[in-house]
Structure formats: C-alpha cells, structure tokens
Homo-oligomer: A and B are copies of this chain.
Amino acid sequence: MTLLLRKIKEIRNYLRNIRCQNNSIVGFVPTMGYLHQGHIELIRRSKMQNDLTIVSIYVNPLQFGAGEDFERYPRDLERDLSICEEEGVDIVFAPLDEEMYPEKPLINIEIQGLSNILEGEFRPSHFSGVCTVVLKLFNIILPDRAYFGEKDYQQLKIVERLVKDLNIPLEIIPVPTVRDEDGLALSSRNTYLKPEERESALSLYRSFLLAEKLIKSGDRDAKLIKEAIREFIMKHPHIKKIDYVEVTDPDLRPVEEVKEGDRILLAVWVGNTRLIDNWRIGDANL
C-alpha cells in the first residue's frame, strides 16, 4: 500500500520513527510526475537496493524560466499514484507549492563550470532551481540513496558534484536512459509532440547512431561529428532549431578528439517542444 503524504512535517515524522526503529535504508526517486518507464526503472533500482522507497512528485516552479512550459507541464497524480502502487513504492511525497515555497527562496546555487554551460546557457537559472529543490528534498527525506536518470545527464553531473562539495550523506545512483523501441528517449515532454513531430524527434537518437558510425569509420574530430549531427537533424521537417550539440568527456569538458566513454549532448526544438538527449560513445551495437 503506497502512502501519500503532502506535508513536510508528516513525512519527516513518519521517517524519523521508521528509520531508527527498523534501521531502514531509504531510497529516494525525485520526479516531476507524469511517470513513464524511465521513472519506473529508477523505482525498481531503488526497490532492489533499499528497505524503503520514496518517490516525490513535484513540478518545481523554480527550475522553469519565464516563458517556459511550467503551466502546461503534464500532471496526473491519480495515474502516478496507481503506477507507484503497482511498483510497490512505500511513500509518495507530493507537496503543494505553498508547502515547498512558503516564501520565495533567496538562495542561488551555482556549480562553477557545470551550471552555466549547455542547458545552463539556454536556461540561465534552471540548475540553481534544480539544486535548490534537490537539496530541499534531500533535507526533508534524508535518503541513503537517490536515483537520477542519465537522460538529464548534466543534471546528474551537477547533483553528483553538489553531493560531493557539500558532504551530503547519501549516494547518487545514475540509471541509464530508457528509450522507446524506435529510440526516442522517454520524457514526460514527449506528450507535447504531434505524431508527425514525433517522427522528426527520432532524428536525435538516429544522429547518435550516425555519430557512432562515423567514429567507427575513423572520424574522431569532434567538430566534424557535431557538424554531421547538426546537418542530419536539420534535414528533418518540424525541426525549428538546435540549441546545442556538444561532445564532452564524462565530466562535461568539451573534447576535440572523440573517444569511447565521451558524451554527445544536444537540445533540439521540434515544433514548440524542446527535447534534450545524450549518448555515451561506444554504446551502439553497430
């Protein structure tokens, strides 16, 4: 039976008792809801590794910029709860805005060299909002492990660094991106796509395969590969623009010569929908 809690005090009291009495190890899956198979992977990993699994469902206004999709972001708590029930989640924490932000927070958090590149260049206060809500949730739930998808690779790297720099007493567990059978990375934002746009959105995944092919055939120049990716994606209808295509090492430092383990990261507007995806070089079975 999944327990739904909406107040910070409630979940704190509940966990305080259970933690000490049963010596329970707590796994935590922070989400913005509208759960899909990607979230379910996170939940399953947590169920395997911990005594107790907590899922938070909260569309964090602080990580959306002005004019972004905060209002239209898909929400369906009923559906999310029944998925959590089915997966054996112990607690769903779904706070209201006034519970999370009784006042507008004054804190800004930057991770130098990580917050301001890629996504951060196009969404300037995004990662400060992410770091703030993640710290809040960590402080409310005090988990032993927290699960983050590689789909948001830069977010994962930033949260890892946050945990390291601040000695937060928990372990971050990265979980590989889940893709639809046709390769589209799962995202709650995929619901925005019209069928014909979804077809074009496949170009993101396919551009990774193209890059792998180029690399296998001996092209190792990052600039060349990025150009090929851009050109390939832009050929598709409904592609409005590419915010960035970058090739970096696993710590998000741009590389000139591509090698296995490096990452391709990109953000592309398909119609009015902004999609991000990333790829670990060497992961394609060509």
Question: Which A residues fall within an 8 A CB radius of B?
Answer: 8, 12, 19-20, 23, 103, 105-114, 132, 135-136, 139-140, 142, 161-162, 164-169
Contacts and interface: CB of A to CB of B under 8 A. Distances in A.
A220 to B, nearest CB: 29
Contacts of A135: 166-167
A166 B105 CA distance: 8
Closest 4 CB pairs of A and B: A105-B165, A108-B110, A107-B165, A106-B112
A109 B107 contact: yes
23 contacts: A8-B167, A105-B165, A106-B112, A106-B113, A106-B114, A107-B110, A107-B111, A107-B162, A107-B166, A108-B108, A108-B111, A109-B109, A110-B110, A132-B166, A135-B166, A135-B167, A136-B166, A136-B167, A139-B166, A139-B168, A139-B169, A140-B167, A140-B169
Contacts of A136: 165-167
Contacts of A139: 166-169
Given A20-B23, A107-B162, A110-B110, 13 more contacts: A19-B20, A20-B20, A103-B164, A106-B114, A107-B109, A107-B161, A107-B166, A108-B108, A108-B112, A109-B109, A135-B166, A136-B166, A139-B168
What copy number does this chain have within its complex? 2
Name the residue among A113, A136, A139, A167 with the largest chain B CB count within 10 angstroms: A167
Nearest to A108: B110
Contacts of A106: 111-114, 161, 165
Contacts of A105: 165
B109 A12 contact: no
A165 B132 contact: yes
Nearest to A139: B167
B165 A142 contact: no
A132 B113 CA distance: 17
Contacts of A168: 139
Contacts of A166: 107, 132, 135-136, 139
Nearest to A169: B139
A254 to B, nearest CB: 17
Nearest to A19: B20
Contacts of A110: 107-110
Nearest to A134: B166
